[in-house]
Structure 1
Amino acid sequence: MARQLLMGVDIGTQSSRVAFIDQRGYVVASASTEQELITPRPGWAEQDPEMWWQNTLQNIRKAMASGDVSGEEVVAIGVAGQMHATVPISTTGELLSHGVLLWCDKRSADLVDRMKAHSDCEIAMRLAANPPVPSWLGFHIQWVKVHQPDIYAKTWKFLPSKDYITYRLTSAVATDYSEASGSFLMDARTKSWSPQLADYLEIDVNKLPDLRPAHEVIGTVTPEAASVTGLLAGTPVVVGAGDMMCMLISSGLSASGRASDITGTASIMAVYVDEPVEDYRLMNLHHAMPGWVPFGIIDSGGGSLSWFVDSICYAQVEEARRTGQNIHAILNPLATAVEPGCEGLLFFPYLLGERSLGTPHARGNFFGITPRTGIGAMVRAIMEGVTFELRRPLEIVEASGNTITEVYTIGGGANSDLWSQIKADIYQKPVHTFRESEGGILGASILAGVGVGIYPDVQTGAAQTQRLDKTFQPNPELAERYHALYELFKDVHDRLQQPFDRLALIP
């Protein structure tokens, strides 16, 4: 009997990947290609969408060959992609720019400041359910209009990254609610493009793609796309969703009462709720299924520990090299030997500043160093400090009336049992880890499966494909100590905001 496989595509920043996945969530074959990030000026970040397409073609062919996958076995396709990229195409489908703005591009900061100073900014934020930030698609489009007027005038539609790949596969144009909610152009109440928000940004709303649910079939693989991929013409393709939302689907954030802790280089605390949380210290994205995801982010969460290892732990790195051990196999026992709370040592993980929870001029620092402070205490303080920071968005969401009962964690930090236990103790909630996590590409495949009826809904697809590993229960005896340290952490954080801003003004 022929296999029934789902094909997932993930257009990341550092790489693109294609995987063929069975209905239980196991990868049959995959291929990936690294991608160049172009930074022509400080704060600018660009990529060529044609590179995404060529890498996708290459990855499809390589994965099909390595797994002996035939086009007949592929029953549906879903695409995830880095969010907020701004791809302009003409009415004939011509790509109008080979250097499009990405999620991490900050060049629209002055336009964001203009919106913040607008007398209707509060009204706009309520409509969008978000604060204005340079990452949003709408400000990218506004920048193109101001600085590349010829491209703006020729543009028929502006497409996010995954929608451009879907367009190349199907010739159909649409985006989903997760991408639209990260644009500062969608009315969060009606889930439709807002003419009022478009007017604030002086953007023609007709240049935006239609909005569809992420699991809806948008079209099928065209004969032209089939000829260059090896896929069958007529294979269904769903709308897909942003990579963050697809990752959250595959990491447990598919039911009320759950939160997802993603501890990678950047670290995210995201929560699944019915409606956006109207607290502009957080950002809100519509999930790839009914519901919303308010979240907070640390640009240097796990990256803080990497910095410490690279910059401070020379002796331990040399020991790891000499003995063939992983560096964390050496550092974790040192941190485990330190009492929870590190005798009052706090770490603030703001090596790359803060987003909506504090000043962008914030810097990382240790607070409370004494002659007793050693490598183990500093490693543990970094783990605790990142977790204290991630508790802040969790607390804000719960204060809005939402109850969170459990946390699912993925990313490099989830590989540390010590860090997972610290999270359970600081959050005072059970923390679950996974045996393996395929991330956004599995989420995109689940959406494809829902679109063609393999799964009745996203929640069922997620439940059938997730494989939990361990559960870390909170230690109630540490609740009082960690709560006191958390309150101190917030107090010191708030007192440092003005000094950080003053420091930024010193030449």
Structure 2
Amino acid sequence: MNYLSLDVGTTCCKCQLFSDKGEILEYKITEYPLKQAEGELYVDIAAIRGRVFSMISEVAAKREVSSVCISTFGESFVLLDKNDEILFDPMLYTDARGAEQAEMISEKFTNEYLFQNLGSLPQSLFSVSKLLWLKQNRPEIFARADKAMLICDYLGYLLTGERAIDYALASRTGAFHIGKLTFDEDFLNELGVPVSLFSTPMPTGSIVGMIKKSVAKDLGLSEHCMLVLGSHDQICAALGAGVVKEGDAVDGMGTVECITTVFSKKPSDCTMGEQGYPCVPYAVKGLYCTYMFNYSNGSLVSWFKDELLHGYRGNEENFFSYIEKDMKRAPTGILTLPYFGGAATPYQNIHAKGAILNLTLRATDRDVYRSVMEGTAMEMRLNLETASAYGIKVTGATATGGGANSGLWLQAKADIENIPFRTLRSSEGGLCGCAMLQSVAMGQFADLEEAAKLFVQYREEFFPDADLHAAYEEQYSKYKKLYQTLKEFY
């Protein structure tokens, strides 16, 4: 059997075909622009549909495809009428429309109700907030709406004719009951949003059905090809990093840093939601996950490299070879607060600012750069400690993204956060996660933990140094005081 995995982003789609031996048989990537209309940017759903179908067809022309699974970004939805005509293009999650509606939801329901039932507190990015914006600002369009489908269930609908959404993506609507595992009808009725707009929730990795015969013929697929239900890109990336049991985590060290970790007991304290940590049903039955963010990670490195050092690399091949050359593995004593794009979890203050303290005339560019590594690591340690109050404990993490290419950074994170880190053979964790879901759905493996043994392959591992961890304690104790000390100056 061969498993076709697709990872659909806002402007880029990737796909890989895996054999049932874990080999990568095909890899493709394509880009498409956002759509502009009336001064606003939208997801170009027609371009996504065209590119996704084209990629499937190109792979199917060369290899047998037994099943298909799709990972997508969350929140953005396609609004259709009864004839499946698109009524309104998908708004980006960054679109400010829905902010007033999120505030209205907060006023109508208590934080306790919202977090315990929906696993998060209202935000403008959630689908339900933007549906309410349409209801209030485009009532003629909302009145004609028959379906509101996120990108994953929309593509699945085009392929199979079935409407199915997994629990994790359903949670990104802001209207899914994480206890009952259904859309919260009482909540939606109170808002005047028909529950029938949404697709049928199903466990991640369920078999949605066979690809429609007419579609299979057009794409060159076998008439027996199955669609396996994919998930939110964060969930699939976590699976592809081997996050299959409590305590596992993936640390996405990209422009923004995000730790996704899993736990077994659903927290009831709404303070967790107020600090920005959602509670999301995970792909492994009985587990939940949450996300911990730092808005300035790779972007902070780029700022230092491009704006302060202007790409200087001395006599080395590149900037990173220069800046990491002969760098000492020891605390710098320099404190970097990485809020250069605002504070994410747990402070949730977009107006927060970054800071670099304790500089002297002896400080070198390497010292300041290492302090950036230290500061981002301390920020994630702060998140790990905050989340531990809700019964969430991380025992180790797999690093992905551009930051995972720096062994010095990963070692600093291990020493500061006091957990081991490891890296992956392949950077495409989300595609690997989709392959794992297919291998279980198609009967090759009994569960995702077994599938991970074949598909998830690690490259390097970094263990905490007890002496260095102890040496960092004084610097970290000062770091924890920075936000409260400096916020009056923002």
Unaligned runs of 5+ in 2: none
Task: After superposition, give the CA deviation of every residue in 1:243-291 in whole Å (9 maximum; x if it has no partner).
Answer: 1100000012111121221101111012110134441211222212221
The aligned counterpart of 1:174 is 164
Q: 2:284 aligns with which of 289, 307, 312?
A: 289
What's the offset of the Cα at 1:64? 4.1
The aligned counterpart of 1:60 is 56
The aligned counterpart of 1:328 is 320
- Is residue 2:223 matched to residue 1:233? yes
Give me the whole-angstrom Cα distance separating, in 2, the residues matched to 1:355 and 1:485: 21
Q: 1:351 aligns with which of 340, 343, 347?
A: 340
The aligned counterpart of 2:296 is 300
What's the offset of the Cα at 1:178? 0.4
Unaligned runs of 5+ in 1: 501-507
What's the offset of the Cα at 1:38? 4.2
- Is residue 2:3 matched to residue 1:6? yes
Q: What letter corresponds to residue 46 of structure 1 in structure 2?
A: Y
What's the offset of the Cα at 1:41? 8.6
Percent identity between the aligned chains? Answer: 24
The aligned counterpart of 2:66 is 75
SS of residue in 2 equivalent to 1:18: strand
Between stretches 172-181 and 438-447, larger displacement belongs to: 438-447
What's the offset of the Cα at 1:25? 3.0
Task: After superposition, give the CA deviation of every residue in 1:52-111 in whole Å (9 maximum; x if it has no partner).
Answer: 11011222233345xx31xxx2111111001111111223322222x3112333322222
- Residues 45 and 214 of structure 1, relative CA distance in 2, 3 Å threshold: farther
Superposition map of 1:109-188 within 5 A: 109-118=99-108, 120-188=110-178
SS of residue in 1 equivalent to 2:237: helix
What's the offset of the Cα at 1:7? 0.6
SS of residue in 2 equivalent to 1:300: coil
Contact 1:86 1:140 (8 Å CA) reproduced:
no
- Residues 247 and 195 of structure 1, relative CA distance in 2, 3 Å threshold: same
Give me the whole-angstrom Cα distance separating, in 2, the residues matched to 1:443 and 1:91: 34
Task: After superposition, give the CA deviation of every residue in 1:14-43 in whole Å (9 maximum; x if it has no partner).
Answer: 30122211123332112121121346699x
- Residues 45 and 346 of structure 1, relative CA distance in 2, 3 Å threshold: farther
- Is residue 2:12 matched to residue 1:15? yes
Contact 1:271 1:293 (8 Å CA) reproduced:
yes
- Is residue 2:184 matched to residue 1:190? no
Between stretches 283-292 and 420-429, larger displacement belongs to: 283-292
Superposition map of 1:101-500 within 5 A: 101-118=91-108, 120-277=110-267, 278=269, 279-280=272-273, 281=275, 282-290=277-285, 291-314=287-310, 316-317=312-313, 319=314, 325-333=317-325, 336-337=327-328, 340-343=330-333, 345-358=334-347, 359-500=349-490
Give me the whole-angstrom Cα distance separating, in 2, the residues matched to 1:349 and 1:248: 24
Scaled by the length of structure 2, the TM-score of the pair is 0.93
Give me the whole-angstrom Cα distance separating, in 2, the residues matched to 1:483 and 1:195: 49
The aligned counterpart of 1:48 is 44
Give me the whole-angstrom Cα distance separating, in 2, the residues matched to 1:148 and 1:459: 46
Give me the whole-angstrom Cα distance separating, in 2, the residues matched to 1:187 and 1:33: 35
Give me the whole-angstrom Cα distance separating, in 2, the residues matched to 1:109 and 1:424: 38
Task: After superposition, give the CA deviation of every residue in 1:284-313 in whole Å (9 maximum; x if it has no partner).
Answer: 222122211112112222221112111112
Contact 1:45 1:104 (8 Å CA) reproduced:
no
What's the offset of the Cα at 1:315? 5.5
- Residues 88 and 257 of structure 1, relative CA distance in 2, 3 Å threshold: same
Q: What letter corresponds to residue 83 of structure 2 in structure 1?
A: T
Scaled by the length of structure 1, the TM-score of the pair is 0.90
The aligned counterpart of 1:505 is none
CA RMSD across the alignment: 2.1
For these two proteins, the number of residue pairs brought into alignment is 483
What's the offset of the Cα at 1:221? 1.0
The aligned counterpart of 2:29 is 32
Contact 1:276 1:294 (8 Å CA) reproduced:
no
